[in-house]
C-alpha cells in the first residue's frame, strides 16, 4: 500500500504531498518491450523481448517536472518509473500525454541486451543515453537521448513516479542475453548483400551491358551491389527474433507477420 504519512514538501512555493498525486493502479502481467525492426529510419531499440512484472504497482497519472519528482522520491517509497513498468501501463491504455511531449524513464541504455526482464530499471551504463517516450498522435514512441550530467534532468519534459508493492526482485533475474547475436546479423547481411545487391547487378549487366563488361567491370558491379544493399538498410530489414520467457529462460522466436 502507499505510505501517506510522510511529510509534505515545498516545491517552488507549492505544497505537494503524495495524497495530491493522482495514481493509476496497474495489475501484474507481461508485456513486450522494444522493437524487432532494425532498419535505420524505421527501427527502434532492440531486441524486442518479453517482460513479466509479478507485482502490482501505482504509476502517476500525469508526468511531473523532473526536479519535483526527484524531491518527492527522497525518503519515500516513490521512484522513477522503469521502461518496462511504463510499457505495461501504456499497453493497457492507462497512460496518455500531450502531442509532442516527452517523458524520461529510469533506464539508461543503447539497447536491451543484458536487461533483466522482471520490471526493474535497466541502467547499463551511466554514459549511455536516457530512454524516453515521446507522444505523437496519441501514441508513444521510444527514443534515446544523451544528456549532460548523471541526473538526466534535461532528458525530457517530465517523468512519472511509481510505487511498487513488494517487487520481490532477486539477485539472479531472467535476462536478455548479454551479447547480441552479431554473428547471425552478419550472416544475414552477407546474404542480403548477395541477393539484393550483387546478384541483381550481374544479372543487369548480363542482359544490358556491352560484351566483356562483366569481365572488365566486375569490381564496380560488386561495389555497386554492396552500396545498394547498404542503402536498403535505411528503409527495410527482416524482422528480428522476439525473446520470450519460457521455462525460466529467454528463447528467441521469429513472429510471422
Rounded to 5°, angle at Cα 230 from 225 and 236: 115
Question: Which pLDDT score is estimated for 74?
Answer: 81
Q: How many CB atoms lie within 10 A of CB 51?
A: 28
Question: Which pLDDT score is estimated for 153?
Answer: 53
Q: What is the pLDDT of residues 191-247, one digit of tens each?
A: 999 999 999 999 999 999 998 999 999 999 999 999 999 999 999 999 999 999 999
The rounded percent of the chain whose pLDDT value lies above 90 is 72
Question: Which pLDDT score is estimated for 13?
Answer: 42
Which three three-digit cell numbers place residue 58?
A: 501505482
Cα radius of gyration (the chain): 23
Does residue 47 have a cis bond before it (omega within 30 degrees)? yes
Handedness of CA 101, 104, 109, 112 (dihedral sign): negative
- What counts of helices (H) and strands (E) characterise the chain? 5, 14
Distance CA 93, CA 19 (A): 23
Question: Which residues in the chain land under pLDDT 50?
Answer: 1-15, 150, 152, 257
Question: Which pLDDT score is estimated for 180?
Answer: 67
Question: Which pLDDT score is estimated for 166?
Answer: 86
Amino acid at each position: 500500500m502507499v505510505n501517506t504519512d510522510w511529510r509534505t514538501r515545498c516545491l517552488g512555493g507549492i505544497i505537494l504531498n503524495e495524497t495530491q498525486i493522482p495514481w493509476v493502479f496497474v495489475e501484474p502481467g507481461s508485456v513486450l518491450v522494444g522493437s524487432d525492426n532494425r532498419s535505420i529510419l524505421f527501427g527502434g531499440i532492440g531486441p524486442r523481448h518479453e517482460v513479466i512484472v509479478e507485482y502490482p504497482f501505482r504509476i502517476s497519472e500525469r508526468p511531473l517536472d523532473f526536479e519535483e519528482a526527484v524531491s518527492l522520491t527522497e525518503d519515500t517509497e516513490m521512484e522513477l518509473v522503469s521502461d518496462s513498468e511504463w510499457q505495461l501501463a501504456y499497453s493497457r491504455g492507462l497512460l496518455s500525454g500531450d502531442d509532442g511531449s516527452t517523458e524520461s524513464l529510469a533506464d539508461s541504455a543503447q539497447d536491451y541486451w543484458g536487461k533483466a526482464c522482471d520490471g526493474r530499471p535497466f541502467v547499463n551504463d551511466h554514459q549511455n543515453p536516457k530512454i524516453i517516450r515521446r507522444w505523437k498522435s496519441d501514441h508513444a514512441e521510444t527514443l534515446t537521448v544523451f544528456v549532460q550530467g548523471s541526473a538526466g534532468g534535461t532528458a525530457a519534459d517530465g517523468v512519472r513516479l511509481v510505487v511498487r508493492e513488494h517487487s520481490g526482485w532477486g539477485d539472479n533475474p531472467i535476462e536478455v542475453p548479454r551479447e547480441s547475436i552479431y554473428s547471425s546479423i552478419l550472416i544475414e547481411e552477407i546474404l542480403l548483400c548477395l541477393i539484393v545487391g550483387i546478384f541483381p547487378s550481374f544479372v543487369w549487366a548480363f542482359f544490358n551491358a556491352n560484351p566483356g563488361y562483366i569481365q572488365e567491370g566486375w569490381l564496380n558491379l560488386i561495389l555497386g551491389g554492396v552500396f545498394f544493399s547498404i542503402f536498403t538498410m535505411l528503409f527495410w530489414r527482416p524482422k528480428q527474433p522476439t525473446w520470450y520467457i519460457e521455462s525460466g529462460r529467454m528463447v528467441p522466436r521469429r513472429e510471422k507477420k
